[in-house]
Structures are given as C-alpha cells and as structure tokens.
Amino acid sequence: MALTQARPAVGPVRGYVEYYLTAMRIAIATQFQYRMSNYFFMVGMVGEPVIYLVVWSTIAREQGGEIGGFTPGTFAAYYIVWTLVRNMNFVSVGAWENRIRTGELSGELLRPLHPIHYDIGYFAGWKVVVIILWLPIAIALSVLFQPDLDPRPIDVAVFAFAIWGAYLVRTLTYAVLGMVTFWTMRVQPIIQIVMTLELLLSGRLVPLSLMPDWAQSLADVLPFKWTFGFPIETLVGRLPDAELLGGLLTQLLWIAIGMLALRSIWPIAVRRYSAVGA
C-alpha cells in the first residue's frame, strides 16, 4: 500500500528501495558526526528505566524474591532490553507541526513521494547508529544489575523483526495523530494525552502482566503494547510460539491500519493546508 503523490520515475520497487537506502545512508553519516550528542541523549534516556528497575527489584525482594513471576534478575533483563526498544522506536511526534510552522512542507509537496517515506528511511538509518552506540550501555547495565536473560533462538529471531515492527507501528501512529496539526496548531495537549495512555498501557512503565486484567485487555486492542511490551517480552518473557507469531501478525495489522489511515487522511489534510496556509 503505497503512500505516494506520484510514482517514482524508475520502477516502483527499485525506486522505493533506492530512496530508503539513500535516506538511511544520510542518517548514518549525519548521526555518526554527532555521536557524542547521541550518546548523551541515550544516556539521558537510561535514567527512566533504571528508576523503574530499582523500584520494582526492591519490591520483588520485599515480596520474597519475586512479584508476578518477575525476579530482580528478570526485571533487570526487562528494563535493559527496554533501553534498546525505547531508542529504536523513538520518533518525531511533532514532525507535521514543525514542517507547517517552518514552511518546509511546501517544498516537500513538490516531491514525488509522501514525506513519511523520508521520515521512515532517515530514522531507520539513525537506528543503525543507535544499535552500535547502545551496546556499551547494555554491557555496563548488565554488569551493574546482572540480568536473567536466556532467550531461545526463535525468541532472538522474532525480536529482530518485532523491534522494527514496533518502530513502524509507532511511526505511523504518531504520523496519523500529528496530522491534527492541519486543523489546529494546538496539537501538543492531544499528543500528551496519547503519550500518557502509551506510558500506562504499553509495558513501558511496568510489565503488562503486572497490570490489572482490564488494563491488559485494553492494551491488547491498542497499538501501544506492540511498540513496547511485545518486543521486550519476545526476548525476555519466553512467550509461547503461538503468541510470538500472533504478536508479529498484530504488528502487521497495525502497520496496515496506520498506512490506510495516513493515505485516507492525507489528501484532505493537504487541501486544508493549501487553503489556509501556515
């Protein structure tokens, strides 16, 4: 399902592949030039999961060594993997607002591809840099907290797909949400409400298995779980094979929903933009 304003001059598949690879190369070259800035950014993001890890590990010890099947070592594994997933699914939630406010969107509308393609390609290239820079951080956290992590080969394989699926689900979710900007520039309060729901119902704050049943049921039908909780649990939760496959299929469903929503709303939003300007 292509999100295009016009087809590329070359063959469609080849054109998209070349475009994405070019955007990724630009991101890799750019972000390696700012590797220290990236490191400080990543280290700053480590503070959040470390707080969660310390709090829940302490509670587990006070409850006799575990809580809800999680031991201090399991919590360590969960939140260390959390740091990679969080950096991998980081996206620009204010992309449309910035483009409209600065006038950047006007130039992008002259290009043959929907702007979301560049966003996906560029941020995908940034993730390559993130993975490389994350490894020393993961080693340091592992030495400090001694995670209990023993994934099966199938867990590792599914995680490799799930972490990119999480990136696409979150990218498309916030891209669709961000198009509210075409109708009002006061989109940040709406985004903050959604991000609060994401914090509570994604597995970011606490593993979802420790949440009440109603919260787990709600999380199953929202996209947030598939951007945090599911990819983390594929590596540390020892999910049954059926749940691993079901989770990947659910990610694909949310990707399809996001693409369909973006494609449906985009023509209306662009007409709104050209009518009122910004």
Q: Name the pTM for this structure.
A: 0.88
- 138 Cα distance to chain centroid: 19
Give the lowest-confidence range in 56-65, 93-102, 197-206, 263-272.
93-102
Write the pLDDT tens digit of every residue in 142-157: 999 999 999 999 999 9
Among the listed residues 229, 180, 190, 235, the one whose alpha carbon sits nearest the alpha carbon of residue 207: 229
Q: Would you tell me how many other CB atoms lie within 10 Å of the CB of residue 156?
A: 11
Residue 48 neighbours by CB under 8 Å, 6+ apart: 86
Is residue 278 a contact partner of residue 101, using CB atoms and an 8 Å limit? yes
42, two tokens = 């990543």
Write the pLDDT tens digit of every residue in 35-93: 888 888 887 778 888 899 999 999 998 988 889 889 999 999 999 999 999 989 888 77
Beta bridge partners of 113: 4
DSSP 110: T
Write the pLDDT tens digit of every residue in 114-151: 889 889 999 999 998 888 888 998 999 999 999 999 99
Write the pLDDT tens digit of every residue in 216-228: 999 999 999 999 9
Among the listed residues 168, 178, 162, 140, the one whose alpha carbon sits nearest the alpha carbon of residue 229: 162
Would you list the domain boundaries of the chain? Answer: 12-276
